[in-house]
């Protein structure tokens, strides 16, 4: 969730405020409603607890001071896992389980622990309601794995590009764009085509409904927001053409981003190369959104500190409008999901290889033994079993002798015990 290791180290050393926790949760793509105790009251908190504890789609995280619960420590975050109406108590699932296991506390006592001031920020603590974003699908683009090339492209974007940025001495934004497009994997254009997939009308040639008009208007506004980003200007200047339908170096063949995007926007009809409508997500838009959707950790390896900070400011969620934030986070979640799927596929393949290798070794061992070898193995196994049995009896005999010396046991002959 965090952008760079430095941020994680800082949080480990200094902690995180309520406002920053809300910020990082939203940046990770969650739908977050945050409430400081100064903005609400204990009754609303109780209703929120009941709502979340009776639903699978909502989670409540409380920010409180441990001293208010007679615990050691200072400010802390923990999710609420349950509510008991009869006693008006909440179940705190303490994330620091090495200190406190899940425990019940009175809701009013937790409210008092929340209604405290963070000395660092001067702000009151509170609670947040975390849920999945309401809008599941992207308005402009979506990622898919319909084409087999997606595995290599995801690995390239998530693993290879960060490594290249770390290993090369990049001096400016054009250098970054050059690295991204210099040697993309095979099928990269087809993956971009998957990125450019948008919701198509189920029927062509039929009048546009009011809902479709609203969707097109929202998409046009979203495209405008993409073009207003700082990265878009760099991308436009980088692409070697004066027309809006420019070919991108490194893609090979006749494939280019704008032909793909225009085809999608025309719902499968042949694109008009002379028509560059504002609602068509041309190559510059696609490449800009691709850069924005990459993990924040992608840019951490850039050696030039000034350039690294410039890129981080360009891709920062704080600098993007809310609609574009949702679009980027939606694509980023899809990219993470594809990466996770790729890792699972690789792990399953490795497990299958290991099982196959073990089976082959067992088969080779079994087929390589003659009947005489099996007889020798059986004799040795019987000898080992007899040796272990004698050792066990010897140890039991020794323990009984020790017991006879130290305890007033009945005088029973060891021979009577069978030992």
Do 105 and 175 lie in one domain? The reply is no
Do 22 and 125 lie in one domain? The reply is yes
CA atoms within 13 A on the CB side of 330: 20
Residues 6+ apart with CB under 8 A from 95: 77, 78, 79
Average pLDDT taken over every residue of the chain: 75
- Residues 103-139 have pLDDT tens digits of 899 999 999 999 888 888 788 888 989 887 765 556 7
- The answer to whether residue 375 is domain-embedded is yes
Cα–Cα dist 128/298, whole Å: 29
Do 74 and 172 lie in one domain? The reply is no
Tokens of 307: 């350039």
Evaluate whether 246 touches 239 at the Cβ level (below 8 Å): yes
Do 268 and 306 lie in one domain? The reply is yes
- The answer to whether residue 284 is domain-embedded is yes
Is the confidence at residue 89, as pLDDT, over 50? yes
State residue 203's pLDDT score: 40
Do 270 and 319 lie in one domain? The reply is yes
Domain of 380, in residue numbers: 371-417
State residue 280's pLDDT score: 42
- The answer to whether residue 237 is domain-embedded is yes
Domain total in the chain? 3
Domain boundary among 86, 104, 131: 131
- Residues 364-387 have pLDDT tens digits of 666 666 666 767 777 887 778 777
Do 164 and 257 lie in one domain? The reply is yes
Do 248 and 280 lie in one domain? The reply is yes
Three-state secondary structure string covering the chain = CCCCHHHHHHHHHHCCCHHHHHHHHHHCCCEEEEEEHHHCCHHHHHHHHHHHHCCCCCEEEEEEEHHHHCCCCCEEEEEEEEEECCCCEEEECCCCCCCCCCEEEEHHHHHHHHCCECCCCCCECEEEEEECCCCCCCCCCECCCCCCCHHHHHHHHHHHHHHHHHHCCCCCHHHHHHHHHHCCCCCHHHHHHHHECCCCCCCCCCCCCHHHHHHHHHHHHHHHHHHCCHHHHHHHHHCCCCCCCCCCCCCCCCCCHHHHHHHHHCCCCCCCCCCCCCCCCCHHHHHHHHHHHCCHHHHHHCCCHHHHHHHHHHHCHHHCCHHHHHHHHHHHHHHHHHHHHHHHHHHHHHHHHHHHHHHHHHHHHHHCCCHHHHHHHHHHHHHHHHHHHHHHHHHHHHHHHHHHHHCCCCCCCHHHHCC
Q: What is the pTM of this model?
A: 0.54
- Residues 279-298 have pLDDT tens digits of 444 678 888 888 898 888 88
Do 121 and 243 lie in one domain? The reply is no
More confident residue, 309 or 337: 309
Do 299 and 154 lie in one domain? The reply is yes
Domain boundary among 101, 131, 161: 131
- Residues 5-55 have pLDDT tens digits of 556 677 676 677 888 788 777 766 678 888 888 888 888 899 899 988 888
Residues 6+ apart with CB under 8 A from 259: 245, 271
- Residues 48-86 have pLDDT tens digits of 999 888 888 889 999 999 888 888 878 888 999 899 989
Residue 56 sits in a domain whose CATH number is 3.90.70.30
State residue 229's pLDDT score: 92
Do 167 and 301 lie in one domain? The reply is yes
- The answer to whether residue 16 is domain-embedded is yes
* Mean pLDDT computed over 241-259: 45
Give the pLDDT band (50/70/90) at residue 151.
Answer: confident
Tokens of 291: 């850069």
Do 70 and 117 lie in one domain? The reply is yes
Do 332 and 256 lie in one domain? The reply is yes
Is the confidence at residue 264, as pLDDT, over 50? no
The rounded radius of gyration (Å) of the Cα atoms in the chain is 32
- The answer to whether residue 350 is domain-embedded is no
């Amino acid at each position: 969730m965090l952008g760079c290791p430095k941020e994680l180290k800082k949080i480990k050393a200094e902690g995180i405020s309520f406002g920053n926790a809300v910020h990082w949760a939203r940046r990770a793509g969650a739908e977050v409603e945050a409430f400081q105790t100064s903005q609400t009251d204990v009754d609303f908190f109780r209703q929120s607890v009941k709502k979340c504890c009776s639903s699978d789609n909502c989670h409540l995280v409380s920010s409180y001071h441990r001293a208010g619960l007679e615990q050691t420590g200072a400010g802390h975050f923990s999710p609420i896992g349950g509510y008991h109406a009869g006693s008006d108590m909440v179940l705190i699932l303490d994330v620091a389980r090495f200190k406190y296991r899940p425990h019940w506390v009175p809701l009013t006592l937790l409210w008092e622990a929340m209604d405290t001031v963070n000395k660092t920020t001067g702000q009151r603590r509170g609670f947040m309601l975390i849920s999945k974003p309401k809008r599941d699908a992207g308005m402009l683009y979506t990622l898919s794995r319909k084409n087999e090339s997606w595995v290599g492209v995801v690995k390239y974007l998530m693993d290879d590009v960060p490594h290249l940025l770390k290993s090369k001495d990049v001096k400016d934004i054009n250098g970054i764009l050059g690295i991204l497009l210099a040697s993309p994997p095979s099928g990269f254009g087809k993956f971009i085509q998957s990125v450019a997939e948008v919701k198509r009308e189920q029927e062509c040639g039929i009048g546009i409904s009011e809902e479709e008009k609203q969707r097109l208007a929202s998409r046009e506004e979203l495209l405008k927001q993409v073009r207003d980003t700082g990265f878009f200007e760099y991308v436009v200047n980088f692409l070697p053409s004066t027309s809006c339908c420019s070919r991108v170096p490194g893609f090979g063949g006749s494939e280019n981003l704008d032909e793909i995007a225009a085809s999608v926007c025309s719902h499968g009809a042949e694109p008009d190369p002379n028509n560059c409508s504002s609602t068509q997500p041309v190559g510059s838009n696609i490449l800009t959104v691709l850069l924005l959707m990459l993990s924040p950790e992608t840019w951490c390896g850039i050696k030039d500190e000034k350039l690294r900070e410039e890129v981080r400011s360009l891709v920062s969620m704080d600098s993007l409008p809310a609609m574009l934030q949702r679009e980027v986070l939606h694509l980023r979640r899809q990219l993470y999901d594809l990466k996770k799927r790729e890792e699972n596929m690789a792990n399953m393949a490795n497990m299958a290889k290991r099982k196959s290798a073990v089976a082959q070794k067992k088969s080779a061992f079994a087929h390589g033994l003659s009947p005489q070898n099996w007889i020798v193995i059986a004799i040795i196994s019987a000898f080992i079993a007899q040796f272990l049995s004698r050792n066990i009896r010897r140890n039991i005999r020794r323990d009984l002798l020790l017991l006879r010396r130290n305890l007033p046991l009945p005088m029973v002959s060891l021979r009577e015990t069978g030992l």
